Amino acid sequence: MNSSKSGARERLCTLSKGLLAPSRGLTQEPQNPENVFHIREVRDKLREIVGASTNWRDHVKAMEERKLLHSFLAKSQKGLPPRTMKDSYIEVFLPLGSQPELREKYLTVQNTVRFGRILEDLDSLGVLICYMHNKIHSAKMSPLSIVTALVDKIDMCKKNLSPEQDIKFSGHVSWVGKTSMEVKMHMFQLHGNDFSPVLDATFVMVARDSENKGPAFVNPLILESPEEEELFQQGELNKGRRVAFSSTSLLKMAPTAEERTTIHEMFLNTLDPKTISFRSRVLPANAVWMENSKLKSLDICHPQERNIFNRIFGGFLMRKAYELGWATACNFGGSRPFIVAVDDIMFQKPVEVGSLLFLSSQVCFTQGNYIQVRVHSEVASLQDKEHMTTNVFHFTFMSEKEVPLVFPKTYGESMLYLDGQRHFKSMSAPVTLKRHYVVEP
């Protein structure tokens, strides 16, 4: 390690001493400099771990070299040494205050922080944490291809996000299956002399083989304290909750009796009393038809947005979906919204470089000041016009003022409404809007 990088690490490690421990995560002592990173180092470290090239023209050669790592893959999980939560714990600093040259990338025109950029950082951080958990000391490069499978939940706390104060991320593996891992991440911002909580995030990552073609085993996890046992148990509960949520999906099962009553009452509220006809629909006061709450976008997926495995970076997809969702909520509510929660982002298919990325966003549920936005992502190649769904994103926003009700017209829209209501109800807890608290694209 060169002296300038070593000095930077020492300064970051010094900065980490005495900080608040994650509110619902692993309590740590001041870190080894090797586990403390500047935000710029994260992507470089990931490229180093997998042997990825920074030049697009070299990507084929780099991926061919990864085939040679196949012999390092474990035949079973029993053949891998167990790891602790501390082994994967890292801290990453985004010094917006002490290094102003970083601000422009994260800055909005309203002098707030772009939450879409934070999503990109969380995605990279989650992958790095998992590589720390599965580190092979005898090998320079990892034979694993670790990718984001699911953003389970991101909950915002009641704190400001200023572009003029340093930010700290921390995280570690909190649950392990045979080929998957749950990662807990926390974000803090400096206020005075202390770092105050900003958000808690839970991601699920999966391990693939060196060519990213099939599953691979990950190191088992040893629990060293009651707190760690509680975190692991929470991971088990999260897994069970996801299975239950999926099994009752409206794509598989009919709505509940209560949900059917809700939809029928909304339908009756839109009938024209003058005609007494099921076909004549009238929009109630202070309401908007769901079909009129849509926004769409199209992006070309250039090599610049690729990840270390030469697919499109998941953080980029999240940022583009969030920004469209934010614009949808802003257009619908008539004022600047702020993000309250993100949940259930499933990465169903990888997005290839060169694809056309189609995003469709719409408001699917509202209540008081809250706006639930669903963003549907699909891709098509330049050669093949067939569209394939890659992601569905769910964002909960809060407006500065009460927003109109959204009413479905069709049965399909009614299912979107109920799905949005379910996601809204799954939010950990409603938050109180604080003055000057705005997180934007």
Class of domain 35-248: alpha beta
In this structure, are residues 154 and 200 in contact, taking their beta carbons and an 8 Å threshold?
A: yes
Q: What are the helix and strand counts (H, E) for the chain?
A: 10, 15
Does the predicted model carry a pTM greater than 0.85?
yes
Domain with residues 255-428, CATH architecture: Roll (3.10)
Burial code (b: 16+ CB inside 10 Å, e: under 16) for 14-36 equals ebbeebeebebbbebeebebebb
pLDDT at res. 361: 97
In this structure, are residues 149 and 206 in contact, taking their beta carbons and an 8 Å threshold?
A: yes
pLDDT at res. 381: 81
What confidence category does residue 259 fall into, taking pLDDT thresholds of 50, 70 and 90? Answer: very high
DSSP-assigned letters across all residues of 167-231: EEEEEEEEEE-SSEEEEEEEEEEEETTEEEEEEEEEEEEEEE-TTSSSB-----EE--SHHHHHH
pLDDT tens digits, one per residue of 135-169: 988 778 899 999 999 999 999 985 568 999 999 99
Cα 22 to Cα 12, 30, 34, 115, 138, distances in angstroms: 18, 13, 20, 20, 32
In this structure, are residues 145 and 209 in contact, taking their beta carbons and an 8 Å threshold?
A: yes
Average pLDDT, the chain: 86
Termini Cα distance of the chain: 36
Tokens of 344: 């259930």
pLDDT at res. 2: 47
Mean per-residue pLDDT, 33-50: 90
Task: Using the structure block, give the residue that is written with the tokens 């035949």.
Answer: 75
Tokens of 156: 């915002």
Task: Using the structure block, give the residue that is written with the tokens 């790891």.
Answer: 83
pLDDT top residue among 157 and 2: 157
pLDDT top residue among 56 and 108: 108
Mean per-residue pLDDT, 310-317: 87
pLDDT at 436 over 60: no
> Where exactly are the structural domains of the chain?
35-248, 255-428
What is the identity of the amino acid at 225?
A: S
pLDDT at 28 over 70: no
Bridge partners, 195 (sequence order): 190
Side-chain half-sphere of 119: how many Cα atoms within 13 Å? Answer: 31
What confidence category does residue 439 fall into, taking pLDDT thresholds of 50, 70 and 90? Answer: low
Cα–Cα distance between 323 and 157 in angstroms, integer? 20
Please determine whether the domains at 35-248 and 255-428 fall in the same fold group of CATH: yes
